Structure 1
Amino acid sequence: METTIKNLNGAEWLVKESLPESVFTPEQYTEEQRMIMDMCQQFLDTEVMPVIDRIDKLEPGLMPGLMEKAGEQGLLSVTVPEEYNGLGKNFVDGMIVAEGLGGGYSFSVAMAAHTGIGTLPILYFGTDDQKAKYVSKLATGEWKGSYGLTEPNSGSDALSAKTTAVLSEDGKYYILNGQKCWITNGGFADVFTVFAKVDGKDFTGFIVERGYEGFTIGAEEHKMGIKGSSTVQLYFQDCKVPVENVLGEIGRGHVIAFNILNIGRLKLAAAALGGSKRVTDIALTYAKTREQFKTPIANFGAMKYKLAQMAIRNWATETATYRVSKLIEDREHELLSAGKPFNDAALAAAEEYAIECAILKVHGSETLDYVVDEGVQIHGGNGFSDEYMVTRAYRDSRINRIFEGTNEINRLLTVDMVLKRAMKGRLNIMGAAMGVQKELMSIPEFGNDDESPFAAERKAIANFKKAILMVAGAAVQKLMMKIESEQEILMNIADMSMETFIAESCLLRLMKNTQAGNIDTKYQELMTKVIINDAADAINKAGKDAINGFADGDEQRMMLLGLKRFTKVNPYNTKEARRAIADKMIEADKYCF
């Protein structure tokens, strides 16, 4: 397997070995970045948490007022260029804000929608005039942004939208007719990016202002969670939108929708991480103060397992999220240096790592779901009472597996994008898969002379990649064009890929910090070893399910033996590792990794 120090292209980690020097880790935050994180946490503690119940009751004016306060502190405009009232900071800085404000329940949703899908379509696809008019006001919070894509009958299949746009006889307006649903921030937003089909066929973006003739906003939806987030339907009845408010090109609306989702998925992972860390602290505090059988429940092994697993999953999500964030930032800078305009550079960088963004959307949302679920369990009966914050976290978390493309869609996209890149020659998947097939036919090497640090872990990651290549390569060869309809197999391969990417990211962070020698990596090593151990089992299970789904006879037997070989790891006492991790958190009285 080829080794590299330069930044890999998207999904190249599947066929190449990364070196620790090539990854960015949270230990590398600058002093300014730490201050940004502190400022976000302080904003939540002083401005949001004291009024959280009022937010959930949708008190008129409260959420917009909070967003204006966030705008005054620069939290809405971190990555917006200075010419549009922004701070012009780097991509990683924007991700730190997404994480830092991610623990704010419904407020986090309003913020993320405003700074992401509310602002970025106009920033990246708008004309100079559109950006000057709209982005400058969105950046300060003077105007609030929203985004209208979903319709009653088009969710995951966004391009099947029925909303239409027809040019008026005088050529000055597009006349929109149709309906949008589940529109976040819709109840108070001033400007909306709305998608409609010009003449019923060309999917196109439009900038629609509140108050346009023929545009009405429905009542607030009553939801299971994120109750304080404004969610409404939008109705267009001969709505007149000036022709200068077409966003991007006619018939190219899908380019806007899908590119904005790439960034949104990664930011969702960061926001979920912020929420997850906050709930971990809530659960830890409760476990330390709640006594049963004359001892705090935090002292019991079953509770230590839960607390440690929360910490491990948080650390893994954080590690991979900032690895990808820096890859996007670096690629953006490369493209800017080569003379690309700001918006083209930002979009191309995010598109390059769209596969990793999809993986992290799934991992981040499922980490948060695990943490809130176990948080309720640690609270016992009290976890079912609205008196405790953990119930709100539990309800609010559930939407994240549906937002920004469902986790099923993101799993399918992960594999679909890899195969498309392979077909276009951007990624040598089939060559690597053929190499693995040859290895399967040869006699395995039993000795391992590599005595360098973490040699066993590095070998495990390399083998996990071989397992993916073996299963994916064989599935493509066997099923050919029918593979698209074999969603279960595609999702198995996606899970193998996610487990591998996350585990590799954690190992690279551990190796980099160990080489630096300036921090204690004891607990990072324990976490990484648990992650690799668990990944081996998860990859084996997903691989087995996939193989049994398309292969039989000798081919099936050979691949199952190969899978067993590629997912074999050294025995490891995960119980003691988890106990040590939990004890460290209990001693620190917070998530401390």
Structure 2
Amino acid sequence: MSTETENKKKDLLRGGQFLVKETDCENVFTPEDFSEEQQMMRDSVREFIDREVIPHSEEFEKKNYKLTEELMRKAGEMGFLGVSVPEEYDGMGMGFVTTMLVVDYISGATGSFSTAFGAHSGIGTLPITLYGNEEQKKKYLPKLASGEWFGAYALTEPGAGSDANSGKTKAVLSEDGKSYKITGQKMWISNAGFCNMMIVFARIEDDKNITGFIVEFDPENPNGISLGEEEKKLGIHSSSTRQVFFNDTVVPAENMLSERGNGFKIAMNALNVGRIKLAGACLDAQRRVIDHAVKYANDRVQFNTPIAKFGAIKSKLAEMAASAYVGESASYRAAKDIEDRIEIRQSEGASHQEAELKGVEEYAIECSILKVAASEDLQNCSDEGIQIYGGMGFSADAPMESAWRDARITRIYEGTNEINRMLAVGMLVKKAMKGHVDLLGPATKVGEELTGIPSFDKPDYSELFAEEKEMIKKLKKVFLMVAGSAVQKFGPQLEEHQQLLLASADILIEVYMAESAILRTEKNAKRYGEDSQKEKIAMAKLYLYHAVDTINQKAKEGIVSFAEGDEQRMMLMGLKRFTKYENQPNVVALRNTIADKLTEENKYCF
């Protein structure tokens, strides 16, 4: 192992450890750290979208599935579909950050193309990359990487949505043991109308867990596969979404993916990758919505004044920009952590497959956090975009209407946000029980602090973000106080208290997102100077201000749901102490600083 890798291993936190360990801003990756190669890739993707996709924006609303297929083929010719496929299978073999970057910038124009790209390059291709044997990878990956073939992912069934392992689709082994016959029904299958291959999950006999299969599909020779009509959907109108029916579909035995009964694990790990990639897919969508909103606010004149000058509009623009900036900060922080973990595992002798699987699995908590935060921020951003446009925003002739409809599915994809909230907390508790994250020690210290005498020393907040970083430490204590007490009280039955889990998850999410923005901004202020980061400092502080409010509310909701009497009073007093600012920020001034920069540049410029 090289010295650089050893240092990386020493500095790198395990998944979920951000809650109990401090992170130095120098150890956080930011978009300002993109290499020259990554910047060129970003610019290449952005140019492709501006040239090939944006001019067809109206056409995407007319259910033009052929257009989506044609543009996917062009994306394949450019190499974008194979960015994460290893070079030995004709892919680009890029690192995790670069694959995240491609997903980010390819997804800003329309939800239809974004969905097709994500379904193909993510859950349609990744299961083979991560779980396929050598023959399967050689046979399928080059075709998928080039866009010669398109992939789909058939997991969801009418009775098996969030409970994916309860699927009824059956796979029956032939007498000679050479093939399986698959029978069943799948729904909400993206790319079904033009795919050549599907990752299909079915149950063999009465196995506890489902099994994955690679199933080829040729409409000229359907092999027992039939498609339902295109679904009528709220948004993503040109994303092909159909039911798929299997009736004694013959699949060669060698097309089983991984081992029998391993399908649930494949599905969950593919979704972990899908979750952080989905967060990435929400980023440029937000930037482009903000671009439209700023331009409209500058052009729209009322009472002889551009509406961008009005405080009510400034407030909206600033909040939209802050959310986009924070989402970007957190997404690339986690992406680089995953990439570093993959490199460490490979340096220790793990195969590419093993390293990537374990690298992503390590940060499953962060993947769920990001999926929830970015999808909800995108929805809020597009909603405020409509509001800035006023009546025109409600019209299909303006870009906000389709942006809002396309955004809505992101809260359902890759496991609903409710499922992901509960997963984030549940996975953290499991990691603590395995000894991977020490929650007990810090939670015990917080308990002692609650019963001890508080310090009345005045801290020194003269350095940039000194108070904000202290506030983040205190907010982590809030989570430890609430979740620690809840685990003590309910033990394994905690998962039955879903509303408490949801409240705890919101605390966890706000801590990670706010800390990511502060660390990114602190790092850049140190290397470029505070003056150059004025607006970014304002965005980090503005987001934290709201995070404190959210955490205060959610913690209170949690505490009163399970604590009574003296315990409740003590925890509520602790909450008050842990969410108290010494120097309350001037939120209006922060918003004005951000909005003035946006309107001056006439675009999202951060």
The TM-score bracket by the shorter chain reads over 0.9
- The aligned counterpart of 2:584 is 571
Cα deviation, 1:243-274, whole Å, max 9, x if unaligned, reads: 01000100010110000111100010011111
> Once the 2 structures are TM-superposed, how far is the Cα of residue 52 of structure 1 from its aligned partner?
2.7
- The aligned counterpart of 1:92 is 97
Provide the C-alpha distance between the structure 1 equivalents of 2:345 and 2:268, rounded to a whole number of angstroms. Answer: 20
- The aligned counterpart of 1:508 is 519
Cα deviation, 1:442-473, whole Å, max 9, x if unaligned, reads: 11112134454422111101000011000111
Does residue 317 (structure 1) correspond to residue 313 (structure 2)? The answer is no
Cα deviation, 1:354-393, whole Å, max 9, x if unaligned, reads: 0000000001101100110000011111111111111110
> Once the 2 structures are TM-superposed, how far is the Cα of residue 512 of structure 1 from its aligned partner?
0.9
Residue pair 1:5, 1:21 contacting (<8 A) in 2 also: no
| Alignment RMSD | 1.2
Does residue 57 (structure 1) correspond to residue 57 (structure 2)? The answer is no
Provide the C-alpha distance between the structure 2 equivalents of 1:534 and 1:5, rounded to a whole number of angstroms. Answer: 33
- The aligned counterpart of 1:264 is 274
SS at match of 1:17: coil
Matches within 5 A, 1:289-328: 289-328=299-338
- The aligned counterpart of 2:528 is 517
Does residue 428 (structure 1) correspond to residue 438 (structure 2)? The answer is yes
- The aligned counterpart of 2:565 is 553
Matches within 5 A, 1:475-554: 475-517=486-528, 520-554=532-566
Does residue 224 (structure 1) correspond to residue 245 (structure 2)? The answer is no
Does residue 204 (structure 1) correspond to residue 214 (structure 2)? The answer is no
- The aligned counterpart of 1:36 is 41
- The aligned counterpart of 1:133 is 139
Residue pair 2:109, 2:288 contacting (<8 A) in 1 also: no
Provide the C-alpha distance between the structure 2 equivalents of 1:585 and 1:481, rounded to a whole number of angstroms. Answer: 49
- The aligned counterpart of 1:25 is 30
SS at match of 2:82: coil
Which portions of structure 1, spanning 4 or more consecutive aligned residues, are displaced by more than 4 angstroms? Answer: none
- The aligned counterpart of 2:361 is 351
Which one-letter code corresponds to 1:83 in the other structure?
E
> Once the 2 structures are TM-superposed, how far is the Cα of residue 526 of structure 1 from its aligned partner?
1.0
Residue pair 1:5, 1:18 contacting (<8 A) in 2 also: no
Residue pair 2:15, 2:365 contacting (<8 A) in 1 also: yes
- The aligned counterpart of 1:78 is 83
Which one-letter code corresponds to 2:150 in the other structure?
K
Matches within 5 A, 1:153-172: 153-172=159-178
Provide the C-alpha distance between the structure 2 equivalents of 1:189 and 1:213, rounded to a whole number of angstroms. Answer: 14
> Once the 2 structures are TM-superposed, how far is the Cα of residue 506 of structure 1 from its aligned partner?
1.0
- The aligned counterpart of 1:587 is 600
Residue pair 1:544, 1:560 contacting (<8 A) in 2 also: yes
Q: 1:7–1:548: structure 2 CA closer, same or farther, 3 Å change rule?
A: same
TM-score (norm 2): 0.96
Residue pair 2:368, 2:421 contacting (<8 A) in 1 also: yes
Q: 1:128–1:518: structure 2 CA closer, same or farther, 3 Å change rule?
A: farther
- The aligned counterpart of 1:461 is 472
Which one-letter code corresponds to 1:490 in the other structure?
L
- The aligned counterpart of 1:176 is 182
SS at match of 2:11: coil
Does residue 119 (structure 1) correspond to residue 125 (structure 2)? The answer is yes
Provide the C-alpha distance between the structure 2 equivalents of 1:449 and 1:275, rounded to a whole number of angstroms. Answer: 41
- The aligned counterpart of 2:6 is none
Residue pair 1:44, 1:101 contacting (<8 A) in 2 also: yes
Which one-letter code corresponds to 2:390 in the other structure?
G
Q: Structure 2 residue aligned with 1:470, among 468, 481, 497?
A: 481
- The aligned counterpart of 2:5 is none
Which one-letter code corresponds to 1:79 in the other structure?
S
Residue pair 1:5, 1:22 contacting (<8 A) in 2 also: no
Cα deviation, 1:161-191, whole Å, max 9, x if unaligned, reads: 0001110112111111100000000110000
Residue pair 1:162, 1:200 contacting (<8 A) in 2 also: no
SS at match of 1:37: helix
> Once the 2 structures are TM-superposed, how far is the Cα of residue 474 of structure 1 from its aligned partner?
0.6
> Once the 2 structures are TM-superposed, how far is the Cα of residue 104 of structure 1 from its aligned partner?
2.4
Which one-letter code corresponds to 1:189 in the other structure?
C
Provide the C-alpha distance between the structure 2 equivalents of 1:571 and 1:70, rounded to a whole number of angstroms. Answer: 49
Provide the C-alpha distance between the structure 2 equivalents of 1:418 and 1:539, rounded to a whole number of angstroms. Answer: 18
> Once the 2 structures are TM-superposed, how far is the Cα of residue 58 of structure 1 from its aligned partner?
3.2
Cα deviation, 1:270-325, whole Å, max 9, x if unaligned, reads: 11111111111011111111111111111110000000001000000000000000
Provide the C-alpha distance between the structure 2 equivalents of 1:484 and 1:449, rounded to a whole number of angstroms. Answer: 39
Q: Structure 2 residue aligned with 1:374, among 384, 395, 411?
A: 384
Provide the C-alpha distance between the structure 2 equivalents of 1:572 and 1:515, rounded to a whole number of angstroms. Answer: 21
Percent identical among aligned pairs is 51
Which one-letter code corresponds to 2:604 in the other structure?
Y
Residue pair 1:79, 1:88 contacting (<8 A) in 2 also: yes
- The aligned counterpart of 2:154 is 148
Aligned length: 590
Q: 1:110–1:60: structure 2 CA closer, same or farther, 3 Å change rule?
A: closer
Provide the C-alpha distance between the structure 2 equivalents of 1:99 and 1:563, rounded to a whole number of angstroms. Answer: 37
SS at match of 1:377: helix
> Once the 2 structures are TM-superposed, how far is the Cα of residue 21 of structure 1 from its aligned partner?
1.2
Provide the C-alpha distance between the structure 2 equivalents of 1:334 and 1:518, rounded to a whole number of angstroms. Answer: 33
> Once the 2 structures are TM-superposed, how far is the Cα of residue 57 of structure 1 from its aligned partner?
2.6
Residue pair 2:275, 2:414 contacting (<8 A) in 1 also: yes
Unaligned runs of 5+ residues in structure 2 are: 1-8
Residue pair 1:376, 1:390 contacting (<8 A) in 2 also: yes
- The aligned counterpart of 1:192 is 198
> Once the 2 structures are TM-superposed, how far is the Cα of residue 5 of structure 1 from its aligned partner?
7.1
SS at match of 2:287: helix
- The aligned counterpart of 1:48 is 53
Which one-letter code corresponds to 1:15 in the other structure?
V
SS at match of 2:243: strand
> Once the 2 structures are TM-superposed, how far is the Cα of residue 64 of structure 1 from its aligned partner?
1.7
SS at match of 1:147: strand
Does residue 109 (structure 1) correspond to residue 120 (structure 2)? The answer is no
SS at match of 1:116: helix
Q: Structure 1 residue aligned with 2:292, among 282, 285, 299?
A: 282
> Once the 2 structures are TM-superposed, how far is the Cα of residue 60 of structure 1 from its aligned partner?
5.2
> Once the 2 structures are TM-superposed, how far is the Cα of residue 518 of structure 1 from its aligned partner?
5.4
Residue pair 2:85, 2:93 contacting (<8 A) in 1 also: yes
Provide the C-alpha distance between the structure 2 equivalents of 1:316 and 1:210, rounded to a whole number of angstroms. Answer: 42
Provide the C-alpha distance between the structure 2 equivalents of 1:548 and 1:76, rounded to a whole number of angstroms. Answer: 50
> Once the 2 structures are TM-superposed, how far is the Cα of residue 72 of structure 1 from its aligned partner?
0.9
Provide the C-alpha distance between the structure 2 equivalents of 1:79 and 1:182, rounded to a whole number of angstroms. Answer: 25
Cα deviation, 1:107-156, whole Å, max 9, x if unaligned, reads: 11101111001100011111111111111100000000100000011100
> Once the 2 structures are TM-superposed, how far is the Cα of residue 237 of structure 1 from its aligned partner?
0.7
> Once the 2 structures are TM-superposed, how far is the Cα of residue 591 of structure 1 from its aligned partner?
0.4
Residue pair 2:90, 2:145 contacting (<8 A) in 1 also: yes
Cα deviation, 1:372-421, whole Å, max 9, x if unaligned, reads: 00000111111111111111101100000000000000000010000111
